[in-house]
Chains A and B, each alone.
Chain A
């Protein structure tokens, strides 16, 4: 305290832009470091990638041919820069096993995985946040206990098992929704949506449970703060004060969790896509790892990292939009 009151003419939009700019630089640096780590792990560590891809039984001649094809003779820094430069132009290399451009393969699968992750995120927010709010406002009552027990269970249930349960009930039993597989969006978007519904639910369950718990804790914490008392002194009831002043303050910790959750969601798609036979990015990576397609693994990994870091960036910016204090002393 003490410092800063002479903050002067604060144009919040300008402050937000400056803050976003700082985060953007951090974002670019993160991506670069991630690319370097992936490159070192997959290309430079002991062991010949070509030998690895072809397996132990490959002839020396075919290994040599693949090395030439992959450009493995060039010095490491040239290969790294070449890979980076290619990616910037949208060229992620050719998949060795699928005989197709990696970019094309990933792009096709993103049409499944991205909606899946976003749906799961939306469901978890729509279900988790109101439940957390309700539990906090009825703290200590039966409804609070019920919600918290459900949330505890939701965190503990593995999503592949919950996915199979959903299939048993809604696909096999009630026959409301398809048990798995995916109809491309252009063919029948309604059917595509129905195909993603159960997997999204399976993915969303633990996230919704976590969000409900975080929201409850945050709101209970905020309810004890002085400014809620001030709001009540102004003439608001406890519920009104929480709604007008509490929720926005409670959203700050929730935002942090949301950013982290997206990473778990993306990782979760690998399992869930396999349970529901969805042709998504997760399934692509899973197959690529099994088939030792290093180029494909490399490209898909960097796309996953891009997705996760972009979410983090968006969370950070959302943070600054909600909290004016962050826009200034954001150096730390």
Chain B
């Protein structure tokens, strides 16, 4: 008998259908991945199965657990959910109660399901099982790193010894190395406990890593389902084919780009944040950037990679003039500055593109108004020329200048990131600093945005500094990679060489954490290397 059987599940918000009649089954111990882009209905499917849909959503269809329908009373359903199904969510920071110690939150899950299981687990056991130390249990969520929080979430989900674990994008808020470790942990625990897994993700490689079977969702329907081998290596449907090809980055051009003179030179930059103790006494400063030197030639694409918290964003903020260096200096086209004192005349030459195109636009300003703001950096510019400049920037990113009167919410994520790039281009800059330019975007549009960036670079002779933790993207884009750890640059070189023969420990770890390509041979039952 199937562990879980879903038949004709429909989820509606009023008249809008979000999940449109999907059916799936899950055998005991089986690992099923649901792949889909944002808005495909994959998360709502999981929430519908566990009766956790947000207010305003209604569901219909049959959901059977061990052949029996789910109870209708809220209380019985809650208890069943606690006992039989464990859940892990995307953002572990907000999914944990900020005012409760980890131990207490795990203990609550154990206590709630104490009648259900014969062999009781205790909190120390669970902490050990997910690879946390006992001292982590005494802490609050904000005192743990992202990976530790997600491990704590998993420990909580395991407390009732469930038969089914539902993991909704459990690693997409984590950095590369942590992601690999958490994926390995989930696969490992499922195998050890013979627990079924419903793994929801937009990341095909992550699904290939932990699942045996996969269902591809697109606008509320399952378009293709089958074994991982079949679906991801020999996709039958157009949509799946597009997804699979989009998750591969075309390798970078092999020939070296002709480089100009040095455009940006960073000389021994250090950034200190001064701190004081309880009695306002100064204590050792926090140093996110520690004596960093680098230079970027005109027309070059340089990538800065490193784990979260390594200081790469702070360094970028100093370079674009949003923060100031505590020591050292920067020279741009021969002019020296420390950060915030970046001369206005130079500001138009350096532009910044942010990670999240949803929060980087003022929702109450039209796109045209947002895009024309940087033009105040050119006081000499004739106001009558503004529309022409906007049209030029918007056309350059492949959009229609007629869109300028619209507002941010009318655009998709990919279009917004194009508009963010247009905003960066409107002053005709020479250096573009791109902070994780595609990591907030769906897989299928990432390729387009990267192509656009490459085209613009060739067309206008732009210089890029790309900040990212995505080695595949970096390998496809960059001429040179700088690896950063704890405020220092620890290794640099051409991506092909540095990723093939990493010298520094961190680079080796980053390279090892890369998930295998979909066409690489792999055995899904094997525990991935950590």
Given known contacts A3-B309, A229-B89, A236-B82, is B108 in contact with A244 (CB within 8 Å)?
yes
Contacts of B388 in A (CB 8 A): none
Given known contacts A233-B82, A236-B78, is B112 in contact with A4 (CB within 8 Å)?
no
Distance in Å: Cβ of A329 to nearest Cβ of chain B: 9
**Partner among A4, A233, A240 whose Cβ is within 8 Å of the Cβ of B142:** A4
Distance in Å: Cβ of B290 to nearest Cβ of chain A: 15
* CB–CB A234/B156 < 8 A: yes
Distance in Å: Cβ of A2 to nearest Cβ of chain B: 4
**What string of 1s and 0s marks CB contacts (under 8 Å) between B375-394 and chain A?**
00000000000000000000
* CB–CB B98/A227 < 8 A: yes
**What string of 1s and 0s marks CB contacts (under 8 Å) between A204-230 and chain B?**
000000000000000000000111011
* CB–CB B109/A234 < 8 A: yes
Distance in Å: Cβ of B56 to nearest Cβ of chain A: 11
Distance in Å: Cβ of A324 to nearest Cβ of chain B: 5
**What string of 1s and 0s marks CB contacts (under 8 Å) between B71-115 and chain A?**
000110011011101110101011111111000000011001100
Contacts of A229 in B (CB 8 A): 52, 89, 95
Contacts of A248 in B (CB 8 A): 99
B145 at the interface (CB under 8 A from A): yes
**What string of 1s and 0s marks CB contacts (under 8 Å) between B303-325 and chain A?**
00000110000000000000000
Given known contacts A4-B143, A233-B82, is B95 in contact with A227 (CB within 8 Å)?
yes
Stretch of A16-24, A37-45, A65-73 with 4 or more beta carbons under 8 angstroms from chain B: A16-24
B529 at the interface (CB under 8 A from A): no
Given known contacts A230-B87, A245-B100, A249-B99, is B278 in contact with A19 (CB within 8 Å)?
yes
* CB–CB A237/B98 < 8 A: no
* CB–CB B153/A230 < 8 A: yes
Q: Which of A1-23 contact B (CB under 8 A)?
A: 1-5, 7, 9-10, 18-19, 21-22
Q: Which residue of B lies closest to A9 (CB)?
A: B135
B270 at the interface (CB under 8 A from A): no
Distance in Å: Cβ of A323 to nearest Cβ of chain B: 6
Q: Which residue of B lies closest to A14 (CB)?
A: B278
B160 at the interface (CB under 8 A from A): yes
A325 at the interface (CB under 8 A from B): yes
* CB–CB A230/B89 < 8 A: yes
Q: Which residue of B lies closest to A223 (CB)?
A: B55
Distance in Å: Cβ of B50 to nearest Cβ of chain A: 7
**What string of 1s and 0s marks CB contacts (under 8 Å) between B135-164 and chain A?**
100111011111010000100110110000
**Partner among B97, B160, B278 whose Cβ is within 8 Å of the Cβ of A245:** B97
Distance in Å: Cβ of A27 to nearest Cβ of chain B: 15
Q: Which of A70-92 contact B (CB under 8 A)?
A: none
Q: Which residue of A lies closest to B144 (CB)?
A: A5
* CB–CB A2/B309 < 8 A: yes
B275 at the interface (CB under 8 A from A): yes
Q: For the complex, what is the distance from the CA of A233 to the CA of B160, rounded to whole Å? A: 11
Distance in Å: Cβ of B435 to nearest Cβ of chain A: 14
Distance in Å: Cβ of A41 to nearest Cβ of chain B: 30
Contacts of A234 in B (CB 8 A): 82, 108-109, 112, 156, 159-160
Q: For the complex, what is the distance from the CA of A240 to the CA of B108, rounded to whole Å? A: 12
A331 at the interface (CB under 8 A from B): yes
**Partner among B89, B112, B275 whose Cβ is within 8 Å of the Cβ of A236:** B112
Distance in Å: Cβ of B79 to nearest Cβ of chain A: 5
* CB–CB A2/B308 < 8 A: yes
Contacts of B89 in A (CB 8 A): 226, 229-230
* CB–CB B94/A10 < 8 A: no
* CB–CB A21/B278 < 8 A: yes
**What string of 1s and 0s marks CB contacts (under 8 Å) between A235-277 and chain B?**
1111010001100110000000000000000000000000000
* CB–CB A325/B146 < 8 A: no
B253 at the interface (CB under 8 A from A): no
A322 at the interface (CB under 8 A from B): yes
Q: Which of B429-463 contact A (CB under 8 A)?
A: none
Give the total number of A-B pairs whose CB atoms are below 8 A apart: 105
Distance in Å: Cβ of B106 to nearest Cβ of chain A: 10
Q: For the complex, what is the distance from the CA of A240 to the CA of B275, rounded to whole Å? A: 41
Contacts of A231 in B (CB 8 A): 97, 108
Given known contacts A3-B286, A7-B139, is B99 in contact with A235 (CB within 8 Å)?
no
Total B residues in contact with A, Cβ cutoff 8 Å: 50
Total A residues in contact with B, Cβ cutoff 8 Å: 36
* CB–CB B99/A324 < 8 A: yes
Task: Among B95, B97, B112, B159, find the residue whose CB has the most chain A CB atoms closer than 10 A.
Answer: B97
**What string of 1s and 0s marks CB contacts (under 8 Å) between A288-332 and chain B?**
000000000000000000000000000000000011110000010
**What string of 1s and 0s marks CB contacts (under 8 Å) between A159-170 and chain B?**
000000000000
Q: For the complex, what is the distance from the CA of A249 to the CA of B83, rounded to whole Å? A: 26
Q: For the complex, what is the distance from the CA of A164 to the CA of B57, rounded to whole Å? A: 50
Contacts of A194 in B (CB 8 A): none
Task: Among A25, A232, A322, find the residue whose CB has the most chain B CB atoms closer than 10 A.
Answer: A232
B192 at the interface (CB under 8 A from A): no
Q: For the complex, what is the distance from the CA of A5 to the CA of B150, rounded to whole Å? A: 13
Q: For the complex, what is the distance from the CA of A25 to the CA of B160, rounded to whole Å? A: 48
Q: For the complex, what is the distance from the CA of A202 to the CA of B149, rounded to whole Å? A: 49
Given known contacts A4-B143, A324-B142, A325-B142, is B83 in contact with A235 (CB within 8 Å)?
yes
**Partner among A19, A237, A244, A249 whose Cβ is within 8 Å of the Cβ of B74:** A237
**Partner among B87, B138, B160, B279 whose Cβ is within 8 Å of the Cβ of A21:** B279
* CB–CB A227/B94 < 8 A: yes
B364 at the interface (CB under 8 A from A): no
Contacts of A244 in B (CB 8 A): 108
Distance in Å: Cβ of A224 to nearest Cβ of chain B: 8
**Partner among A1, A232, A238, A322 whose Cβ is within 8 Å of the Cβ of B81:** A232
Q: Which residue of B lies closest to A5 (CB)?
A: B145
Contacts of A227 in B (CB 8 A): 94-98
Contacts of A238 in B (CB 8 A): 74
* CB–CB A325/B140 < 8 A: yes
Contacts of A2 in B (CB 8 A): 308-309
**Partner among A18, A21, A25, A322 whose Cβ is within 8 Å of the Cβ of B99:** A322
Distance in Å: Cβ of A78 to nearest Cβ of chain B: 31
**What string of 1s and 0s marks CB contacts (under 8 Å) between B278-303 and chain A?**
11100000100000000000000000
Q: Which residue of B lies closest to A231 (CB)?
A: B97
* CB–CB A323/B99 < 8 A: yes
Q: For the complex, what is the distance from the CA of A245 to the CA of B109, rounded to whole Å? A: 13
B505 at the interface (CB under 8 A from A): no
Contacts of B85 in A (CB 8 A): 233
**Partner among B75, B81, B91, B140 whose Cβ is within 8 Å of the Cβ of A233:** B81
Q: Which residue of B lies closest to A19 (CB)?
A: B278
Contacts of A235 in B (CB 8 A): 78-79, 81-83, 109, 112-113, 160
Q: For the complex, what is the distance from the CA of A225 to the CA of B96, rounded to whole Å? A: 10
Contacts of B50 in A (CB 8 A): 233
Contacts of A18 in B (CB 8 A): 277-278
Q: Which of B217-266 contact A (CB under 8 A)?
A: none
Contacts of A9 in B (CB 8 A): 135
27 contacts between A and B (CB under 8 A): A1-B93, A3-B309, A5-B145, A5-B148, A10-B139, A18-B277, A22-B280, A226-B89, A227-B97, A227-B98, A230-B96, A231-B108, A232-B81, A233-B50, A233-B86, A233-B87, A233-B157, A236-B82, A240-B78, A244-B108, A249-B97, A322-B99, A323-B99, A324-B142, A324-B143, A331-B275, A331-B276
7 A-B pairs closest in CB distance: A235-B82, A18-B278, A2-B309, A226-B94, A233-B87, A5-B145, A7-B143
Beyond the given pairs A10-B139, A229-B95, 16 more chain A to chain B contacts, judged by CB atoms under 8 angstroms and listed by A's residue number, are A1-B93, A22-B278, A22-B280, A225-B94, A227-B94, A229-B89, A232-B52, A233-B81, A234-B108, A235-B81, A236-B82, A237-B78, A238-B74, A244-B108, A249-B97, A324-B99
